[in-house]
Amino acid sequence: MRKLLVVTAREYLERVRTRWFIIATVFGPIIIGLLLFVPPWLTSRNTASANLARIVILDATGTNLGNRIAAELNGGLGGDTSLTEVRAVPPARLAEAESLATRQTVAKSTRGYLVLDSNTIAGRSARYAGTNATSSADMDAISRVVRDEVVAMRLERAGLDPFQSAALANMHLDLDAERITDRGRGASARVSIFFAFGVAMLLYISLIMYGQAVLRGVIEEKQTRVAEVVVSSVSPIKLLGGKVLGVGAVGLTQMVIWIGVGFTLMKVRAQVLGHYGVRITPINIPDISIGAALLLLAFFVLGYTFYAALFAMVGATVSNEQDAQQAQMPVVMLLVVSVFALAPVLSAPESKLAYTMGWLPFSSPIIMPLRMSVVSLETFDIVIALVALACSCYIAVVLAARVYRTGLLMYGKRPALREVVRWMRRSH
Amino acid sequence: MPEPAVEIRNVVKRYDGHTAVRGLSLTVPKGAVYGILGPNGAGKTTTIRMVLDIIEPDEGTIDVLGMPNNAPGAIDRVGYLPEERGLYRRMQVRRVLRFLAELKGIGRREADRRIDGWLERLGLRTAERDWGNAKVDDLSRGMQQKIQFIGALLHDPELLILDEPFSGLDPINAQTLQDIVIELRRSGKTILFCTHMMGSAERLCDSVCIIARGEKLIDGPVAKVREEHGGRRVALELADGRVNGVAAVLADRTLVSKVDDANRIFDIELAPGADAQLLLRRLVESGANIARFEMAQASLHRIFVERVGAVSSAEEENINA
């Protein structure tokens, strides 16, 4: 037991000390941070410019549409309309007025100009030209104002009083608000799918990453021949056990840091962005019960042990990294198959495929957490998956230990599969 | 008789298709320097790995320091320097050594104290530079060998097992290692080492065991082995090249059973019961111009070559038949 701890401690400390670990552990949160903060910030940069109103309106409609739009652009009635210059232009002189406005825009005395004509009154089109014409947010804002005012004016013309028409014209604002709540609901479903997929991918990446770390550790010990000294002090089984535990502990450390930082960032996200004037819909992390979290942990630990044993087995049969690349393919394929099943399982979490992949030990560590996060599963379903995984885990560890014990001190040519099977059969 | 340091009884180890060790029995007395000699592939490393409980024998038992070698704690009293040497390359030297010591049950503090002592003693920790803080990769090959050797000694083992300890060592490091082996022996430790280099075995060993093809050929104290298996030998050197008469004398099978002729120098094995003085007289009578006539014991090297060679040729005959 003491020796197992010594081996585990070495594996853990040496790995945590490496530059790779520090970089990965620091960069994980940085990437999470970038994902959480940069997109909303970029979007906010894209929202309508504050000085959207600093434009010229060429009103050739012969109505007060230009003035109404100017007022609306500056915060409605009572707004300061000094930024916006409305020029009433007879339709015949529109071209002349436009070229003047173009020169002013180029000279930067205005940001651009909005042309209103009979087409606008008819509800067909308005034109805008300006330095900010490529900003979709600005264009959206302007076109919304124009649309609102045209609708209101047409309603007034149809005989409704200005208040009624304003209420009707602005009705779609209410609709918009409703859509936001609607999207909010839709978003929560999407968040849970996003979350499920994220968990599954995180599991996949960590299984492969830490599994390969075990593989490389085994090869290093074989290649440097240090294995022989070490196994003269500690049994190969304990050496393997310590390695798997140590690397697993490194994995957990890293995940705890990542998940911890991720959750914290997610929580303070709205506040921090709000501080910079960016408003966002908060992401609601699906509530995870303690039981579900423990199940998740169980699947990770068992899955990791299962794959670490397989990777260690591969490591014990090869003598260098090149051979390892080839020899690990079957193990990696098992993981890749699970990832290919993600989308179909996600769209039908209670299909036959979902059950099968959920129970098979090589895919259950990835598929079960995915299914768990999107639907609530029956107890028998979870129990079957866990028991199957635990049993396979035990078998994998025993076989890996046998292969490891024999393979660890074999250098040179890669043994044939038949030979490896013989190693597995030897119980001592 | 005190309990032996290592007692191997009828040990057999089979691998797929061949038997590496066949019914080997040997006893390493406590406090001795014991050499297992054999050509490459004789089963030396397999034997040592079985002694260290790295691999299990298919048959037979092994006791180490008075207890079965798989008993808890038995192997913690043994130090091992394998033939295939290596350390964790990216680890700091001190941490590697601490790890090896902790595996043998030495506490961290005590380990650090001993590590400093050994590093100083082997010139790896001086006022200017402490190599203990360097990474293993930054050390020269010779330094790495020393570190590996320290690793085998940190827990002050009662039995030290060295597999081809001198291979790949420069003469200075080899001498350092040899000095330490002698010192350890003086302080009552047992040293078991494997080699195919007879010179070092002859200098260092109290007892030897020669194995080939997984079988023991000879074992016992070096002097006894030389006496019993080397036959009685005479080294003869002639002052000139006139060898006609000499050849006739040496061809007499009642006097001489075997001759190695290296021009003017002859390595002669006396026939059983033959008298060396008679041979000398006959040589003088033959008119030989004798520069040297010396009674000599066979070197381990010669015994080794003869015995192992005999096994090889016998085996070849078996194959041919």
**Cβ contact, residue pair A231, B100, below 8 Å:** no
Flag whether pLDDT at B143 surpasses 50.
yes
d(CA A91, CA A125): 15
Q: Is B137 on the interface with A (CB under 8 A)?
A: no
Q: What is the pLDDT of residue A49?
A: 53
Q: What is the pLDDT of residue B263?
A: 76
Q: What is the pLDDT of residue B158?
A: 93
A337: left (phi over 0), alpha (psi -120 to 50) or beta: alpha
d(CA B168, CA B195): 12
State the average pLDDT over residues B249-278: 83
> Which member of A6, A14, A229 has the closest CB to residue B80?
A229
Please say whether the beta carbons of B40 and B196 come within 8 A: yes
Choose, out of A233, A238, A423, A428, the residue to mutate when testing the contact with B (most B CBs < 10 Å): A233
Q: What is the pLDDT of residue A187?
A: 41
Query: Running along chain A, 428 residues long, what does each successive block of 10 average in pLDDT?
Result: 90 88 82 73 57 81 84 67 82 86 82 84 80 70 82 80 64 32 40 74 88 91 87 88 92 85 76 69 61 85 93 88 87 91 82 88 89 79 92 90 82 74 72
Q: Is B104 on the interface with A (CB under 8 A)?
A: yes
Range with lowest mean pLDDT among A183-192, B14-23, B310-319: A183-192
Flag whether pLDDT at B287 surpasses 60.
yes
Q: What is the pLDDT of residue A172?
A: 40
Interface of chain A toward chain B, CB-CB under 8 angstroms: 2-3, 6-7, 10, 14, 18, 220-221, 223-226, 228-234, 409, 411, 419, 422, 428
Q: What is the pLDDT of residue A211?
A: 92
**Cβ contact, residue pair B103, A409, below 8 Å:** no
CA distance B64 to chain A (A): 13
Report the 10 Å Cβ neighbour count for A409. 19
Pairwise pLDDT comparison (B170 vs A245), residue with the higher score: A245
**Cβ contact, residue pair B82, A228, below 8 Å:** yes
Which 3 state secondary structure label does DSSP give B23?
Answer: strand
Residues of A in contact with B54 (CB under 8 A): 228, 231-232, 409
Please say whether the beta carbons of A302 and A393 come within 8 A: yes
The bridge status of strand B207-212 relative to strand B33-37 is parallel
Q: What is the pLDDT of residue B320?
A: 46
Q: Per-residue confidence at B306, pLDDT binned at 50, 70, 90?
A: confident
pLDDT digits (tens, 9 = 90+) for B185-230: 999 999 998 888 887 788 888 999 989 888 888 888 888 888 777 6
Pairwise pLDDT comparison (A363 vs B263), residue with the higher score: A363
Please say whether the beta carbons of A331 and A211 come within 8 A: yes
Whether complex ipTM tops 0.85: no
Residues of B in contact with A231 (CB under 8 A): 54
pLDDT digits (tens, 9 = 90+) for B69-79: 888 888 899 99
Q: Per-residue confidence at B312, pLDDT binned at 50, 70, 90?
A: low
Q: What is the pLDDT of residue B152?
A: 92
- Edge-to-edge strands of the sheet including A85-88? A85-88, A56-59, A112-116, A127-130
Q: Is B69 on the interface with A (CB under 8 A)?
A: no
Long-range (24+ apart) CB contacts under 8 A made by B307-316 are: B307/B210, B307/B212, B307/B217, B307/B218, B307/B229, B308/B38, B308/B39, B308/B42, B308/B210, B308/B212, B308/B217, B311/B212, B311/B213, B311/B215, B311/B217, B312/B212, B315/B213
Report the 10 Å Cβ neighbour count for B296. 14
How many A×B Cβ pairs under 8 Å?
Answer: 63
Closest CA to A147 of A129, A177, A122: A122
